[in-house]
Structure 1
Amino acid sequence: MEPSVARYDERLTAPRSWWGIAALISLAGGLMLLPLGALPLLGGLIGAGALAAAGVSSYGSARVRVVADSLVAGDARIPVSALGEAEVLDREETIAWRLHKADPRAFMLLRSYVPTALRVPVTDPDDPTPYLYLSTRDPRGLLEALNAVRTGSAGSADSA
């Protein structure tokens, strides 16, 4: 049962200010329909608010997890054995890897509101992806979880 327990689990939630913007979009939706009456105003408030909230929630639902012997980032799942040594990126390096250092073939789980990231080379020769760029608020914790899987993977295979 223990291999299914997540060693690392982070949800890249959207900042609070985005929820404030969603509330303003809701208000704008209601105000646009105000000339048509009270019921359309209420419909505009509810409809625009629901759409804006769904958008913010969807964008902020991306997760980065280390489960069993795999790294799960958004919709991608890759075994830790196919990954090289990860590199913690500070603010400046995070920006550089988003811009001029970025490789278009890389898998990027990028959230602009997260100031730090982890860059993990892909060592699988059959995979054309050179590296994974993962926005994370705790890059050192993610690195430790990946290293723990790497060092403990041989021991957990023997115990299974």
Structure 2
Amino acid sequence: MGSTPTTGYVERLTVPWWLWLPGLGGAALLAAEIWLGSSGVRAWLPFVVLLPLAAAGLWWLGRIRVRVADDELLVDDARLPVRFVADAIPLDAEGRREVLGVGADPLAFVVQRPWIGGAVQVVLDDPADPTPYWVVSSRHPDDLAKALLAARSQLAGRAARS
């Protein structure tokens, strides 16, 4: 008898709409500089190439998904079993700046998006892994931290019952 997959938290770290404006505007400006009143292919090719390329780049920057599901924290393609989570600390913009600042551990796993103010520091308890903690950007760091700690508690409860 298999257990059904559970999802405790899902978030996509998308690029906000207001960053799309300068991104696409910069691509349009560069295309206009290449064009500079020319005719023929040089009149339309820069716009056809650079605008979709800028849109694809902005989409790619916002592709990261953060999930707590099936007793794991999944950040893009990285997986962390919740049994190795010692603590999950929600961080505001100032706390994130402090954790990622001068005193940051170079072995930490970081998925940081500068347009997202909050983050969660996930302190690890895995003697086989030199990574001391993960820092993951989140628009809802309190919810992500609660979901991680709840998943860890559920796992510990199931282990105690069996």
TM-score normalised by length of structure 1: 0.89
Contact 2:87–2:124 (Cα < 8 Å) also in 1: no
Amino acid at match of 1:25: G
Matches within 5 A, 1:120-159: 120-154=122-156
Residue 42 (structure 1) shift: 2.0
Which aligned segments of 4 or more residues in structure 1 are displaced greater than 4 angstroms?
154-159
Q: Note if contact 2:85-2:152 (Cα within 8 Å) is conserved in structure 1.
A: no
Shift, 1:17, TM fit? 2.3
Mapping of 1:17-28 within 5 angstroms?
17-28=18-29
Q: Where does structure 1 lack aligned partners over 5 or more consecutive residues?
A: none
Q: How many residues align?
A: 160
**TM-score between the two structures when normalised by the length of structure 2:** 0.88
* TM superposition shift of 1:24: 1.1
Pick closer, same or farther for the CA change 1:71–1:39 going to 2, 3 Å: same
Inter-partner Cα distance in structure 2 for 1:157 and 1:43: 61
Paired-residue identity, %: 35
| 1:89 match | 91
Q: Structure 2: which amino acid aligns with 1:100? A: V
The structural deviation recorded for 1:149 is 0.9
The alpha carbon displacement at 1:3 in A equals 4.0
Query: Alignment partner of 2:135: what SS?
Result: strand
Larger helix proportion of the pair: 1
1:2 to partner: Cα distance: 6.5
Q: Distance in 2 between matches of 1:106 and 1:33?
A: 45
Give the CA deviation at 1:67.
0.9
1:85 counterpart SS class: strand
Q: Which residue of 1 aligns with 2:16?
A: 15
Q: Secondary structure at the match of 2:87?
A: coil
Report how far residue 158 of structure 1 moved.
8.9
**29, 33, 38: which is aligned to 2:35?**
33
Structure 2 portions without partners, runs of 5+ = none
2:20 partner SS: helix
Q: SS of 1:72's equivalent?
A: strand
What's the Cα RMSD here?
2.2
One-letter code aligned to 2:122:
V
Change (3 A) 1:3 1:130: farther
Q: Give distance in 1, aligned partners of 2:38 and 2:150.
A: 61
Q: CA separation in 1, counterparts of 2:126 and 2:17?
A: 39
